[in-house]
Structure 1
Amino acid sequence: MSAQNLVFIGGGPRTAGLLERLGANAPELLAAPLDIHVVEPFAAGSGRIWRFEQDPQLMLNSMAGDVTMFSDASVRCLGPTVEGPDLAHWAAALTAGTLEDAPTLPPHLAEQAATLTRASFPTRQLNSAYLEWFFRRAVATLAPLATVTVHRDTALEVVNRAEGGHTVRLAGGAELQASAVVLALGHTDSTVHGASAHFADFAARHGGFHAAPAYTTDVDYSAIVPGQDVIVSGMGLAFVDLTVLLMEGRGGRFVQRPDGELDYVPSGREPRLWAGSRRGVPFHSKISATLRGAAPGAAQFFTAEAVQRLLAEHSELDFRSQLWPHIAKDTAHAYYQELFTGSPERARMDWSEFSTAFARLDWYSPERAALVTAAVPDAALHLDFERLDHPLTGLDFGERGSVADAVATHIAEDLLQRDGADHPETLALFLGLLRAYMDVAAIVPAERLSAESHAAVHGWWHGFFSFVDSGPPPHRLRQLLALHRAGLLEFLGPGLQVTAEESSGWFHATAAHGASSVTASAFIEARLPAPTVAHSANPVLARLHDSGSGSEQQLLTADGTVSTGKLLVTELHQLVDSRGEAAPTVFAVGPGTSAWASGAFARPNSNAAPFRDNDALARSLLRTVAQRSTLTAFPERTHA
């Protein structure tokens, strides 16, 4: 049998995870030599987003003990699992000199590694070193069954060959022959389009500044001058990174006060930011508490059995009305179990009595609400997902000062709830939502969801999960409060609207039902670009769209056909063309595809969806190249 070529376009952590799974499954499924090519303009393993060459003060929003690339024994998959160190254990082994194939770190990273604990929030640079080490280890496990060649280049297009297979053309002029291709592009840029194009044109004509949605660290902010007012739309992780770059990144520093809070000492080079968003508040803080009640058990209400019962009753499922109540009830069960068993003084009912009654009641029933009211005296401890999602809803804002005070109060209260030992139920909430988020991909057949439900999963559900579970480290929120007290960060509040006023040449922002407003010559859209194939700045995606070899996911809703902007793939991650036909040897993974989002790395011992997904795809890839190898070795004969 002849050797086959497998080409990965993109060499970040998702590709590294797939290589590890290829190595684990190769002894069983690989029957012929395999040459693997990885096309990545940045360092293989870390890729663009996690590359070393970014501001050393930028950090992960996960603790070191919650980051692993290894598919450990908890992962339910067909291939053999492989144990390995999470980021915290990796740093400890590196410091102790016991790490195999240990990298040589620059002094500042070696110092970070030496002081890292499981509860530390590591820098992205240290995570970059971990990811690149993992990539090298994954490559080593493939030998001698497969070789891996890394091309520090950019792929331009994938061309189908008439005789079968593909040619991948690179910017540097090389051409790679491929039996199968995997697009693992991660977060990609888009061309400036839509409202952002209007804002960019406005700024250019009036001598202002505009930054369209982009990866924050890739934007050049040098045109923003000290003291300049800057409107910022978005208060998620990109916004937090922005404050790091424009404040500490310009020479300012934080000092700790005796009460533990922070003051900001400016350098004088900082602008003044005016920030708002749809919710008007930053993402919730990560949690420093530990569970002290009964050990979390298996899911009780959002289960495969519950989903199967719904599927038996309905031809298609509605996420918000049919699945979300099960998710909410399951997450609340975990929350209240920790509250009742970890802090029994906060409840006036025994857990067994409460849980038995709770199990019989629908999440949105008045009886369930009455049960909680009777069992938990403090209304602030009642889990209200709608209030959690929109914490400023219902507040009566009189003027801008009251809006800013409400946002600052919310941040301070969030820190009281999440950064300390007094409220471990917030960790139970975090873990319950995380499990549900991963289980949606595992137990809900995507093809049985309504079009509106697909939009809800990719939109509201992902956004809500990110808001509650994927927030910044607590000290970042303390820094935001310090910047606010220093007069360098003003909070505009919820419902932010930004317009471009031709008469003045300035951007105008209003929020909180008009209670706050500001005009400025600079406007930053602090968020990643929304997925788009039609407007992608990535040459491969743009070419796939133009040629019809790839297509955007289209949803038929009551209001007509709506595009999610995501690259359409099958359940097996095969690319779907504009005619609706799947390409048997072109695959795509990652946040820009229509597949359920699952990330690249995950918490250890959590049966993490990325690792289950990687294993299934790796086995599919090995079977695909094995089939191609057989066809090449024994071609079909034609008769005259």
Structure 2
Amino acid sequence: MSEATVICIVGAGPMGSSVLERICSGAAVRRDWTGKRLDIHIVDPYVVEGGSIWRSSQDRNLWMNTLPDSVGLFTDETVECDGPINPGPTLWQWIEASREADRASDQAREKSRVSKRDRWPARFLMGEYITWFRARAAQTAPDWVRVIEHRAKVLDITRGHSPGRPEHVWLSGRKSPLECDRVVLAQGNLPVLPDGNELAMCAQASNLGASYVHPRHVVDESFDHVRAGASLLLRGLGLSFIDQVQVLTVGRGGKFVRTPEGRLTYAPSGREPRLFATSRSGVPLGPVPVYKFDRPPLLPDNMAVTDKAVRAALGEPATAFERLTLLIVAEIELSYLREISSLAGASESAWQSQADSYLLQMRETGELPDTPTCPRVNDEPFTPRSFDKPMAGQSFESTAALQDWMIDYISGSIKRVLSPASSPQRAMLRALSRSEAVLRRHYLQSQGEAAPLVRSLQDLRHKRQIMAGGPPWPRLEQLIALCRAGVLTFLGPSDAFEFVPEAGMPFRLTPSALGRSFGFLHAVESRIPAPGVENADDSLRSRMWERGEIIDRSFWRTGSTGRAGLQYLTTNGDGNPLSATGEYILTRHVVGGNTSVVVPPGLPRVRTNSGVLRFTDRVAQALLRSLEDPTSE
């Protein structure tokens, strides 16, 4: 048998593990690989735990944000890909199959809790599922394929000089490199370095017995230094905030208890800090949906975000993003109004006349028309133009009054997500999905060169997050209990805070809804770090950046820190990274949400023609083809 071909995959999370399975299954059916040997190295400090984010050793109180029967890493018949379809169990099916066999205490208790498809599992179970999936891919691969795992960190990748071994991968704890034919970077969203202001603030706060934490993944954080009763400001009300609250409450011994009347309450342990929360919008993200349409949508096709309208917007590059934003908001509003009109008993002809007038006025003025008068149904509080800023213009006489308002707001979001009745909110989500499909199609046709489309796709995702990108609804119910117990205080919207070293409480915040100043001993940026390239806290990424072997495509936005918002590795459709010389490095591939290839965020969804699995398969098949054709290097 000939000398082995060597591939190295950097990262053992969902993306890296999926690429491994796609390479193994693809090579098995390719005749050109008959009689050859293939060694696949997979490197990750958490290789035995499912990768960094999903590591199986993380806090057991942290939940996934998706139901177990909706996610899985196996391809199914809906996935359109060149590689073979290899069905396998979803996360739920794996939990069911392994429940009786697993006797370990933590695993057994959690699998027992997730006894139904509509229970959100702890995140560590996803890490175990990923590890099992990767082991199965290795076990079912042809006998001439060998998978070697390394519990190590990749420090650098350099260009080799030996023929056929162009990539040298340097690992921690190893003096000589792995000499490889191809490398796949599947590191996911890496942590980012704090900027100069953050570093200075962190150092000064530490000298005062206070602390500042810049954006980080919660699995990399420790709050051991925060004492019971200390005031702690959480800046952000998304998924990171939810996780941090869990760590700082039930993670410190507190318990949620339901009364005989059905109200959820919180029994403090006495070890919790005093938590204060704020964000730009001032409210937690809406709960992740659990409902389905019980009938076809009333507006199945786009009316504003059409192919013709998108092409026209892109024809004016200077204003393309603004025009696309106008179209998206119009699409959301029309879907909302269509649903409301139907529920209010309006006729089809009356609705069509209203919609035609709306679209005509928008085209003539280039602005959104005045919202047509429409009855409110079931006191529906959503409006398409303000759902992402529900506290705009709000003011409260006291902190207690704001807490009452917030409890009502959160209760309403839970009620909507659990309501079996059709909701206009669902119609708005459908409109976002339809619009995203149209923009993604144009993005692919543009070969990734239309920056306004990428910005618009990011904006669509942001709107979806605000409406329904939050935690499972039970987590929001827990926020209400924490608020009533006095452990958590909402402060409403704010953009920035002050650091006043000479003050006893060095972090100062004046929320617009309250009009007075608050002081805090600790401050935490409760948000996942935005994708970074030049500021990534990773030696491999930094060295590749410095040598010009990767470049970024940046989309700037002004945040509370004033730093660049989004930076993506620039690649082609096969994941080959673009270098500073303008050439693609064909012996390397990059996969993940941190590239310029737009893929749906999160884990692969089953029976949805998963964009994640389509992309990992495309990269795997391109890699195998390049090894069959020596001229591709």
- Shifted more, 440-449 versus 465-474: the winner is 440-449
Q: In the aligned structure 1, how far is the partner of 2:308 from the partner of 2:424?
A: 25
**Cα distance between partner residues in 1 of 2:248 and 2:556:** 43
Give CA deviations for 1:35-83 in whole Å, capped at 9, x if unaligned: 2111111135720101110111110111122212222222223333332
- Is 1:143 the equivalent of 2:142? yes
The match for 2:89 is 85
Say whether residues 1:68 and 2:72 are aligned partners: yes
- Judge conservation of contact 2:305–2:435 (CA < 8 Å) in 1: no
Deviations 1:12-43 (A, max 9, x none): 11111222322343213753432211111113
Quote the residue 2:111 is aligned against: 113
- For residues 436 and 111 of structure 1, what CA distance do their matches in structure 2 show? 42
Residue type at the aligned position of 1:421: P
Which letter does structure 2 place at the counterpart of 1:349? A
SS of the aligned residue for 1:492 comes to strand
Partner of 2:560: none
Q: Which amino acid aligns with 1:167?
A: H
Matched, 1:536 2:533: no
The normalised TM-score by structure 1 is: 0.86
2:345 to 340, 345, 348: 348
Q: Output the CA distance in 1 between the equivalents of 2:349 and 2:103.
A: 52
Higher mean C-alpha displacement, 517-526 vs 422-431: 422-431
Q: SS of 1:389's equivalent?
A: coil
Equivalent positions of 1:434-473 (< 5 A) are 434=433, 436-437=435-436, 440-445=439-444, 451=451, 454-458=454-458, 460-473=459-472
- Work out whether 1:552 is the aligned partner of 2:552: yes
For structure 2, the residue ranges without an aligned partner over 5 or more in a row are 558-562
- CA drift of 1:336 comes to 6.6
Q: Which amino acid aligns with 2:571?
A: V
- 1:522: Cα distance to partner? 0.9
CA distance 1:303–1:610, change in 2 (3 Å): farther
Cα distance change, pair 428–385 in 1 and its aligned pair in 2 (3 A)? closer
What is the distance in 1 between the residues matched to 2:564 and 2:582?
A: 16
Give the whole-Å Cα distance in 1 for the aligned partners of 2:418 and 2:395: 28
Give the Cα separation in 1 of the matches to 2:30 and 2:207. Answer: 62
Deviation at 1:161, TM superposition (A): 1.6
Shift of 1:339: 6.5
**Secondary structure of residue in 1 paired with 2:146:** strand
The correspondence of residues 247-258 of structure 1 with structure 2, limited to 5 A, is 247-258=249-260
Residue 253 of structure 1 deviates from its aligned partner by 0.3
Give the C-alpha shift of residue 295 in structure 1.
6.3
Q: CA RMSD in A?
A: 3.4
Partners of 2:201 and 2:107 lie apart in 1 by: 40
Secondary structure, counterpart of 2:168 in structure 1? strand
Aligned CA distance change for structure 1 residues 181 and 45 (closer, same or farther; 3 Å): farther
When residues 433 and 118 of structure 1 are mapped into structure 2, their CA distance, relative to the original with a 3 A threshold, is farther
Cα gap change, 1:295 to 1:413, in 2 (>3 Å): closer
Farther-moved stretch of structure 1 (530-539 vs 214-223)? 530-539
After TM superposition, give the deviation of residue 614 of structure 1 in Å.
1.6
Give the C-alpha shift of residue 587 in structure 1: 1.6
Kindly tell me: are residues 267 and 395 of structure 1, through their superposed partners in 2, closer, same or farther at Cα, counting changes over 3 Å?
A: same
**1:574 Cα deviation after fit:** 1.5
Secondary structure of 1:512's match?
coil
8 A Cα contact 1:316 1:448, kept in partner: no
- Equivalent AA in structure 2 for residue 538 of structure 1: D
Instruction: Give the 5 Å matches for 1:469-488.
Output: 469-488=468-487
1:250 to partner: Cα distance: 0.4
**What percent identity do the matched residue pairs reach?**
26
The Cα of 1:4 is off from its aligned counterpart by 1.9
Question: Counterparts of 1:281-320 in structure 2 under 5 Å?
Answer: 281-294=283-296, 299-301=301-303, 305-306=307-308, 309-310=311-312, 314=315, 316=317, 320=321
State the secondary structure of the residue aligned to 2:294: coil
Name the SS of the counterpart of 2:601 in structure 1: coil
- State the Cα deviation string for residues 434-492 of structure 1 (Å, max 9, x = none): 4644664444245576545544544x333222222321011111111111111111111
Contiguous gaps of at least 5 residues in structure 1: 98-102, 633-640
Q: Match for 2:266: what amino acid?
A: Y
Match of 1:636 in 2: none
**Contact 2:492/2:513, CA 8 A, preserved across alignment:** no
Secondary structure at 1:169 match in 2:
strand
Is this contact kept in 1: 2:439–2:453, CA < 8 A?
no
TM-aligned CA distance change 1:188 to 1:416, over 3 Å: same
Cα deviations by residue, 1:511-530 (Å, 9 ceiling, x for unpaired) = 22662431111111112222
The answer to whether the Cα contact below 8 Å between 2:82 and 2:618 also exists between their aligned partners in 1 is yes
1:11 is matched with 12
Report deviation, 1:182: 1.1
1:223 counterpart = 2:222? no
Question: What does residue 362 of structure 1 align with?
Answer: 359
2:132 alignment counterpart: 133
Alignment: residue pair count: 615
> Does the 8 A contact of 2:205 with 2:501 survive in 1?
no
Q: Would you say the 8 A contact 2:205–2:212 is kept in 1? A: yes
Q: 1: CA distance between counterparts of 2:231 and 2:310?
A: 54
Aligned 1:228-627 pairs, distance under 5 A: 228-294=230-296, 299-301=301-303, 305-306=307-308, 309-310=311-312, 314=315, 316=317, 320-328=321-329, 346-350=343-347, 354=351, 358=355, 361-362=358-359, 365=362, 373-374=373-374, 376-378=375-377, 380-381=379-380, 384-434=383-433, 436-437=435-436, 440-445=439-444, 451=451, 454-458=454-458, 460-504=459-503, 506-512=506-512, 515-554=515-554, 564-599=566-601, 601-627=603-629
**Deviation per CA, 1:126-173, whole angstroms, max 9, x where unpaired?**
222222222222223432353211111100001012346110000111
Q: Which amino acid aligns with 1:123?
A: A
> How far did 1:320 drift?
4.1
Task: Give the 3-state SS of the residue equivalent to 1:417 in structure 2.
Answer: helix
Displacement of 1:86: 1.9
Distance 1:360 1:159, change over 3 A: farther
1:306-329 per-position Cα deviation (integer Å, ceiling 9, x unaligned): 477548x72759664444455455
| Letter of the structure 1 residue corresponding to residue 125 of structure 2 | L
- What secondary structure, in the 3-state scheme, does the structure 2 residue paired with 1:574 have? coil
* AA matched with 1:82: N
Choose which of 42, 51, 69 in structure 2 pairs with 1:38: 42
- Distance in 2 (alpha carbons) for counterparts of 1:422 and 1:190: 43
**What does residue 49 of structure 1 align with?**
53
8 Å Cα contact 1:331-1:433 kept in structure 2: yes
Between the aligned partners of 2:318 and 2:382, the Cα distance in structure 1 is 25
Task: State how far apart, in whole Å, the 2-side matches of 1:335 and 1:603 are.
Answer: 26
The answer to whether the Cα contact below 8 Å between 1:509 and 1:519 also exists between their aligned partners in 2 is yes
Please state how far the C-alpha of 1:410 moved relative to its aligned partner.
Answer: 1.8
Structure 1 residues 307 and 370: alpha-carbon distance in aligned structure 2, compared to 1, 3 A threshold: closer
Please report how far the alpha carbon of residue 597 of structure 1 lies from its aligned counterpart in structure 2 after TM superposition.
4.2
For 1:122, the equivalent position in structure 2 comes to: 121
Structure 1: distance between partners of 2:411 and 2:417:
10
Is 2:160–2:179's contact at 8 Å kept on the other side of the alignment?
A: no
Aligned to 1:156: 155
Contact 2:53 2:219 in 1 (8 A): no
Three-state SS of the structure 1 residue aligned to 2:543 is: helix
Q: Does the C-alpha gap of structure 1 residues 353 and 326 become closer, same or farther in structure 2, counting only changes over 3 Å?
A: same
Separation in 2, partners of 1:124, 1:507: 32
Aligned residue identity for 2:91: L
2: CA distance between counterparts of 1:631 and 1:309?
A: 34
Q: Is the 8 A contact 1:70 1:83 kept in 2?
A: yes
Change in CA separation of 1:611 and 1:296 when aligned onto 2, cut-off 3 Å: farther
Partner letter of residue 519 of structure 2?
T
The aligned residue for residue 100 of structure 1 is none
